[in-house]
């Protein structure tokens, strides 16, 4: 081959990453890539940072047409209404009048996997809300964690590249248990707080309807007089905050990979509308530096014990999309879509998002006119000088420049005051630099806060999650380095994880705080203690006492739950009264992980259940996963044979002492006491104080 052809081929090969220092796409050597260029350590990101813009722009356009992150989603329409006027801290029109309902569209999503991945992977969940307000669209683009993995948006491409499937084989899909992520995490300790959330059951929501949402960043409310107040946003589901456990999540990926999106769709179709309360943490500007962390640090949260969450309104989702692609897939969110009364801060991660989201839509939605798509179109009037471009659907007339006289000067700028958006006049000064503020340097205290806020069973699940994730990492060096970082959070956490993945236990003193915030635990009461929309399985076979099933079904239905009869086969079984009884599902097509509780009614049918391996597995898994188990008549004998009798409580026992196994062996018809105790056990969601079953 000629030298010329060799040179041509070499031009299409990637550069040797070890051949020299990092450069821009133009070959300019980069001095620093961990911090964007800002006006002072805590100042805003500067537009002149060409390395930052090039890095983010290239990242934003890596994938077409699906989203680079948050590709797999589910959406719904609804409305928002404030509880009372919020005029004391914001002029935002949609937060003033309780009688005014603001339309919304919400998109829930996973982060790592592509559109075809499963719902129940261990991942952050997106919780993005578009408010179609009278003053324009406002997008609250958040997650189900209150913190993120990085502090400066210039690191976002690095983080997502490490999180995504490995480049040589595109494995694993929709999962984070691989070398590149943990290599990044072990070298970037600012990730640790969010990693603790990722390893907890918070990363495995039972339902989008039972999942919190957070704005993540510190924003600013501005009142009519121009006074600012820092604000953190919180969404809290009225059904409470509940999660799957890892074993369930994995099986759901096979049994029903659409578990979460199906749950959302079915609930809305059934008229059981998801509801969330919007709360805010308000921080006076004078208290900006009153905390032992920086309000502009997206890897930190404000403990609710320090600044309580103030409820200001509710959101109800009451309509499913008509076309998934046109609406859920084409909806475009942007953190800089704000309305008068809501402003941004100099959080360097937020500053990057304010650039990145708009840039991303240009690739995904084919040009600059995506705001004209129905799902993105404001209800407020739109008057701009923007023209043409791909997919232009508006029929514009008149002048398209400003100032003009031929069009009567229209559209004219609104000027200051009135309904115009006026940026908050925050003071900005400082030397241009790539350097992180010293107030961003503590990476361990809040990770430790989260760990010490967990109950024993939550900590056990976190350790098991770390062991699973790091156990998939092939590099022993990365395993050891990650464990060393965990020991900086809590030494015993590091020791327990090391014990499970075959690396030496870390040594040395603990450096992080032992403080706790009980509000961070899943056991912290939130929302209503209810069984509305919960799915409960009744295991039935020929000879089942159908009177018991019918009575329980009526009671559970009255409480808003759904009872389904599950048998070894589809069709019908014969009841104890000799009459046919319709079966809802066949055992081979379902699993206990798809239900919130199980009931074993009495009758001669329990003998058939005792001989059915699928039925026995269903019961054992329900018990092992901490869910409520109920039994009547001879059903109690079946539970005893499986070793569940030691956890059983009779009706009337204090719920605090219950282990979630409710039986009434003498019952022919369920008593009110049994029904009440069973409903209470289901409402508690999990019971982790049980005696482990002996394998059988």
Tell me the catalytic residues: 70, 143
For tokens 């009048």, the residue is 97
CA distances from 663 to 467, 599, 613, 670, 694 (A): 36, 10, 22, 10, 20
Who's near 35: CB < 8 A, 6+ residues apart?
Answer: 152, 154, 348, 434, 435, 436
Quote the strand ranges of 162-284, DSSP E: 213-214, 219-222, 228-237, 275-284
Query: Which residue stretches of 511-612 are H helix?
Result: 546-558, 606-610
CA distances from 280 to 233, 302, 304, 420, 475 (A): 5, 11, 10, 24, 43
- Which residues on adjacent β-strands are paired with residue 572? 582
DSSP element (H, E) containing 185? helix 179-187
Contact 253, 204 (CB under 8 A): no
Long-range Cβ contact pairs of 484-492 (< 8 A, separation 24 or more): 484/186, 485/185, 485/186, 485/189, 485/192, 486/192, 488/189, 488/192, 488/444, 488/512, 489/192, 489/196, 489/444, 489/447, 489/448, 489/451, 490/448, 490/451, 490/452
Contact 506, 482 (CB under 8 A): no
Contact 277, 247 (CB under 8 A): no
State the Cα torsion 678-684-690-692 to the nearest 10°: 90
Q: How far apart are the C-alpha atoms of 589 and 568, rounded to whole Å?
A: 10
State the Cα torsion 652-656-660-661 to the nearest 10°: -40
List the structure tokens of 261.
């999106």
Q: How far apart are the C-alpha atoms of 581 and 572, rounded to whole Å?
A: 5
Contact 135, 434 (CB under 8 A): no
Three-state DSSP at 260 gives helix
List the structure tokens of 198.
């990722």
Quote the strand ranges of 523-596, DSSP E: 535-539, 562-567, 572-574, 580-582, 585-586
Q: With CA atoms as reference, report the closest residue to 339 among 9, 96, 115.
A: 96
């Amino acid at each position: 081959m000629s030298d010329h052809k060799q040179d041509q081929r070499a031009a299409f090969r990637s550069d040797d990453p070890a051949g020299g220092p990092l450069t821009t796409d133009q070959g300019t050597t980069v001095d620093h890539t961990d911090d964007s260029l800002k006006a002072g350590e805590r100042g805003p990101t500067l537009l002149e940072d060409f390395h930052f813009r090039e890095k983010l722009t290239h990242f934003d356009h890596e994938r077409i047409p699906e989203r680079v992150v948050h590709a797999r989603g589910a959406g719904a329409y609804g409305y928002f209404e404030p509880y009372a006027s919020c005029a004391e801290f914001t002029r935002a029109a949609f937060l003033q009048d309780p009688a005014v309902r603001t339309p919304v569209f919400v998109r829930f999503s996973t982060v790592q996997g592509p559109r075809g991945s499963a719902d129940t992977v261990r991942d952050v969940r997106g919780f993005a809300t578009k408010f179609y307000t009278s003053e324009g669209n406002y997008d609250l683009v958040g997650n189900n964690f209150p913190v993120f993995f990085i502090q400066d948006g210039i690191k976002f491409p690095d983080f997502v590249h490490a999180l995504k499937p490995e480049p040589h084989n595109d494995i694993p899909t929709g999962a984070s248990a691989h070398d590149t992520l943990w290599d990044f995490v072990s070298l970037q300790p600012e990730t640790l707080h969010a990693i603790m959330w990722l390893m907890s059951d918070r990363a495995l929501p039972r339902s989008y309807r039972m999942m919190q949402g957070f704005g993540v960043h510190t924003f600013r409310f501005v009142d009519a007089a121009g006074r600012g107040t820092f604000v953190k946003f919180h969404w809290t589901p009225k059904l409470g905050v509940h999660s799957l456990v890892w074993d369930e999540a994995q099986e759901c990926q096979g049994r029903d990979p659409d578990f979460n999106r199906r749950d959302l769709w079915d609930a809305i179709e059934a008229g059981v509308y998801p509801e969330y309360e919007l709360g805010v943490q308000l921080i006076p500007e004078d208290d900006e530096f009153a905390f032992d962390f920086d309000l502009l640090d997206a890897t930190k949260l404000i403990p609710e014990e320090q600044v309580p969450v103030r409820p200001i309104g509710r959101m109800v989702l009451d309509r499913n999309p008509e076309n998934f692609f046109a609406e859920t897939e084409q909806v475009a969110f942007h953190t800089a879509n704000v309305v008068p009364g809501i402003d941004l801060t100099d959080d360097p991660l937020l500053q990057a998002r304010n650039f990145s989201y708009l840039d991303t839509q240009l690739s995904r939605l084919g040009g600059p006119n995506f705001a004209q798509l129905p799902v993105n179109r404001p209800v407020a009037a739109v008057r701009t000088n923007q023209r043409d471009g791909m997919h232009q659907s508006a029929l514009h007339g008149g002048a398209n420049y400003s100032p003009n006289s031929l069009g009567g000067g229209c559209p004219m700028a609104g000027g200051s005051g009135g309904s115009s958006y006026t940026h908050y006049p925050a003071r900005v000064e400082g030397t241009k630099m790539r350097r992180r503020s010293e107030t961003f340097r503590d990476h361990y205290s809040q990770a430790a806060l989260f760990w010490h806020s967990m109950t024993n069973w939550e900590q056990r699940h976190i350790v098991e999650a770390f062991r699973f994730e790091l156990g998939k990492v092939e590099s022993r060096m990365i395993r050891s380095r990650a464990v060393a970082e965990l020991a900086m959070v809590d030494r015993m956490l590091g020791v327990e994880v090391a014990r499970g993945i075959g690396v030496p236990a870390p040594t040395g003193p603990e450096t992080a705080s032992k403080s706790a915030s009980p509000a961070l635990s899943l056991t912290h009461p939130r929302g209503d203690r209810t069984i509305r929309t919960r799915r409960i399985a009744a295991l039935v076979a020929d000879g089942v006492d159908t009177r018991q099933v019918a009575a329980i079904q009526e009671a559970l239905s009255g409480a808003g739950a759904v009872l389904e009869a599950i048998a070894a086969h589809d069709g019908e079984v014969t009841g104890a009264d000799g009459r046919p009884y319709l079966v809802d599902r066949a055992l081979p097509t379902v699993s206990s992980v798809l239900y919130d509780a199980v009931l074993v009614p009495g009758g001669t049918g329990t003998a058939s259940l005792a001989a059915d391996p699928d039925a026995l597995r269903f019961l054992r898994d329900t018990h092992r996963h901490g869910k409520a188990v109920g039994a009547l008549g001879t059903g109690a004998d079946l539970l005893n044979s499986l070793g569940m009798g030691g956890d059983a409580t009779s009706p009337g026992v204090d719920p605090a002492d219950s282990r979630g196994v409710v039986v009434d062996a003498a019952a022919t018809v369920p008593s009110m006491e049994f029904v009440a105790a069973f409903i209470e056990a289901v409402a508690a969601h999990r019971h982790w104080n049980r005696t482990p079953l002996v394998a059988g």
